[in-house]
Amino acid sequence: MWHIQAQICQHGFVVLFFLLPLPGKGADSPPTPGYTLSAQSVLVASGLCVEIPCTFTVPAGSTLSTRVTGIWRRTGTPDIVAASTEASMVSNGTKGRFTLTGKVQEGNCSFSISNAQPADQGIYEFLIEDESHKYSYSRNHLSVTVTDLLEPTISPVGELIAGKPITLTCTAHPAPQGCKGNITWGGRINIENISNYEREDQAGKVTSISDITVTPSQREHNSPLTCTVTYSGVSTNSSITLDVQYPPSMTITVPGYNGTYENKSVAVIEGDTKRLRCEVNSNPVADVSWWRGDGILIATSGQGLTLVLENVSVADGVTYTCLARNTHGSVSGTVSVTVASLTHDKKINHLIILMIRGLSILALSGIIAVPAVLVMRCREKRRQRQAEDNPKSSPENYEVAYCNTE
Ligand SMILES: *[C@@H]1O[C@H](CO)[C@@H](O)[C@H](O)[C@H]1NC(C)=O
Ligand SMILES: *[C@@H]1O[C@H](CO)[C@@H](O)[C@H](O)[C@H]1NC(C)=O
Ligand SMILES: *[C@@H]1O[C@H](CO)[C@@H](O)[C@H](O)[C@H]1NC(C)=O
Ligand SMILES: *[C@@H]1O[C@H](CO)[C@@H](O)[C@H](O)[C@H]1NC(C)=O
Ligand SMILES: *[C@@H]1O[C@H](CO)[C@@H](O)[C@H](O)[C@H]1NC(C)=O
Ligand SMILES: *[C@@H]1O[C@H](CO)[C@@H](O)[C@H](O)[C@H]1NC(C)=O
Ligand SMILES: *[C@@H]1O[C@H](CO)[C@@H](O)[C@H](O)[C@H]1NC(C)=O
Ligand SMILES: *[C@@H]1O[C@H](CO)[C@@H](O)[C@H](O)[C@H]1NC(C)=O
């Protein structure tokens, strides 16, 4: 068939419809002298646009009339995707998105695709129909590959420090001038300044960029920041989780007491156990320690530390300090522990005082006081023994302590 067509063309005859090569067979046939087409296969991101430069030639001696029609169609199908005339022939799927932009009469077969769809991926071929020519450039397949629309990038993802202004940049992927995107930001953080601009590369692709100035605070730690690029019809976004660094803050709690206990005083009964809980909120993690005067009691690196005061004695009635420190600062809080002797002890003390007074009176009255004291001591010894049998009974323990010190 190609031979016949070539012969006819050499003789300058009108090209006949039935001489067109059958779809898919053209590539196997030898080229027809004089008919050349030059276009490069393209990649286009879904939703974006692409301009495909293309030129073609017809054999020397033949000319294209003003009525020449250029057609792009999907190889192997009758689907016309773009034509220089008679737009009604164009298949619905590509109508308005594929455009033959070149002047066919000048041998320009350039076309453009806008808002590319995954279904646009395929192989296309160019045809001309003129009074004296009808030719399919099916040896010169043009392949269109539709890629995923790429997300923008946000940088830096580096150190955000509470209270320090920082610039974050969102960069869209390069897009042709005809379908460049708009950048918008979303998130909880307050944007103090925004600057949108673009950079054009040598190939004419435009990179949209947006710089924002923010001053992060602890409130925004772990919150998302999103950058969205909107193209005509599609949008893509990317998000980062803000990692805001801040100095430690502290809450001291004491079980049995409501609220917080920084710089407050806690009354503890002698012999009791008290837990002083120091909760720390910081980023990065703080070094936390409990101090008694200049001496460190315990230390850790983390979100909190509990100081356990066991079997407190009167000597433990001092001020305890919790100290938390990270690279951005430090904080401290204190708890003053006051150790109360048992009220029971006080009663006994009081009793003894009364007794001594009583004894004096009795002595004056001539009654022997010694047996009474012995009876008292015996009772205390008995309680002591009971206490040793049952050491968990704390009131008894205090009595024991009292007796021992006697
Ligand atoms: C395009 O769609 C219209 C209406 O939806 C229909 O009448 C027409 O035949 C379609 N054309 C093609 C080429 O599919
Ligand atoms: C072909 O047409 C396109 C679209 O009008 C134009 O940008 C391009 O420069 C033309 N190419 C030539 C070689 O004239
Ligand atoms: C925002 O940034 C621009 C350019 O960097 C600067 O000229 C302008 O003063 C800034 N505006 C504010 C409110 O900081
Ligand atoms: C981008 O923003 C400009 C100005 O805000 C607007 O005119 C244009 O329509 C927007 N483009 C898209 C694709 O949203
Ligand atoms: C970001 O994109 C994803 C998927 O493309 C979408 O589900 C999400 O709603 C978008 N987020 C924003 C803030 O636009
Ligand atoms: C703590 O507060 C709750 C209610 O706020 C109250 O019922 C409780 O008695 C308080 N406990 C102490 C030890 O103050
Ligand atoms: C506790 O005392 C320290 C030192 O006086 C002070 O810096 C800190 O703010 C106080 N904390 C509270 C919660 O009052
Ligand atoms: C509590 O402390 C006292 C004096 O410091 C000691 O004699 C006693 O054995 C302690 N009790 C317990 C249960 O550790």
Cβ contact 231:175 at 8 Å: yes
Distance 81 CA to ligand 1 centre (A): 13
State mean pLDDT over 319-343.
92
Ligand 5 neighbour 186 (Cβ under 6 A): yes
- What atom of ligand 7 comes closest to residue 333's alpha carbon? 1
Ligand 7 neighbour 262 (Cβ under 6 A): yes
Ligand closest to CA 109: 2
Is residue 87 very low, low, confident or very high in pLDDT (cuts 50, 70, 90)?
Answer: low
Ligand 1 neighbour 91 (Cβ under 6 A): yes
* Cα-based torsion angle of the residue sequence 10, 14, 19, 22 in order, rounded to the nearest 10 degrees: 100
* Atom 10 of ligand 5, nearest CA residue: 237
Q: Which is it for strands 205-214 and 191-200: parallel, antiparallel or unpaired? A: antiparallel
In terms of pLDDT, which residue wins out, 77 or 22? 77
For the cut 60, the answer to whether the pLDDT of residue 22 exceeds it is no
State mean pLDDT over 353-360.
59
State pLDDT tens for residues 259-283. 777 778 888 889 989 999 999 999 9
Residues with CB under 6 Å of ligand 2 are 55, 101-102, 108, 110
- Reduce the secondary structure of the chain to three states and give it as a string: CHHHHHHHHHCCCCCCHHHCCCCCCHHHCCCCCCCEEEECCEEEECCCCEEECEEEECCCCCCCCCCCEEEEEECCCCCEEEECCCHHHCCCCCCCCEEECCCHHHCECCEEECCCCHHHCEEEEEEEECCCCEEECCCCCEEEEEECCCCCEEECCCCEECCCCEEEEEECCCEEHHHCCEEEEEECCCEEEEEEEEEECCCCEEEEEEEEEECCCHHHCCCEEEEEEECCCCEEEEEEECCEEEEEEEEEECCCCCCCCCCEEEEEECCCCEEEEEEEEEECCEEEEEEECCEEEEEEEECEEEEEECCCCHHHCCEEEEEEEECCEEEEEEEEEEEECCHHHHHHHHHHHHHHHHHHHHHHHCCCCHHHHHHHHHHHHHHHHHHHHCCCCHHHHHHHHHHHHC
Is residue 356 very low, low, confident or very high in pLDDT (cuts 50, 70, 90)?
Answer: low
**Pairwise CA distance, residues 32 & 75, whole Å:** 18
Best CATH choice for the domain 246-340 from the list 2.60.120.10, 2.60.40.10, 3.40.605.10, 2.20.25.90:
2.60.40.10
State mean pLDDT over 298-304.
95
State mean pLDDT over 291-304.
94
* Atom 9 of ligand 1, nearest CA residue: 92
* Atom 7 of ligand 4, nearest CA residue: 182
For the cut 70, the answer to whether the pLDDT of residue 400 exceeds it is no
Q: Quote the pLDDT of residue 46.
A: 93
Best residue among 92, 94, 97, 98 to mutate for probing ligand 1's pocket (most ligand atoms within 8 Å of CB) is: 92
Q: Quote the pLDDT of residue 292.
A: 95
For the cut 70, the answer to whether the pLDDT of residue 7 exceeds it is no
Is residue 29 very low, low, confident or very high in pLDDT (cuts 50, 70, 90)?
Answer: low
In terms of pLDDT, which residue wins out, 5 or 253? 253
Q: Quote the pLDDT of residue 323.
A: 97
For the cut 80, the answer to whether the pLDDT of residue 321 exceeds it is yes
What is 153-241's CATH number?
2.60.40.10
Asked if 14-147 and 153-241 have one fold, the answer is yes
The domains of the chain are located at: 14-147, 153-241, 246-340, 350-404
Distance 92 CA to ligand 1 centre (A): 6
For the cut 50, the answer to whether the pLDDT of residue 18 exceeds it is no
State mean pLDDT over 34-54.
93
Ligand 5 neighbour 226 (Cβ under 6 A): yes
**Sign of the dihedral defined by the CA atoms of residues 175, 177, 178, 179, in that order:** positive
Ligand 1 neighbour 238 (Cβ under 6 A): no
Distance 333 CA to ligand 1 centre (A): 78
Ligand closest to CA 193: 3
Q: Quote the pLDDT of residue 303.
A: 95
- Average pLDDT across the chain, whole number: 81
For the cut 70, the answer to whether the pLDDT of residue 20 exceeds it is no
For the cut 60, the answer to whether the pLDDT of residue 67 exceeds it is yes
**Pairwise CA distance, residues 73 & 83, whole Å:** 9
Please tell me the least confidently modeled range out of 88-92, 108-112, 186-190, 202-206: 88-92
> Does 2.60.40.10 match the CATH number of domain 14-147?
yes
State pLDDT tens for residues 199-245. 999 988 999 999 999 999 999 999 999 999 999 879 999 999 999 99
Give the rounded distance of the alpha carbon of 157 from its chain centre.
9
Distance 338 CA to ligand 4 centre (A): 69
In terms of pLDDT, which residue wins out, 90 or 4? 90
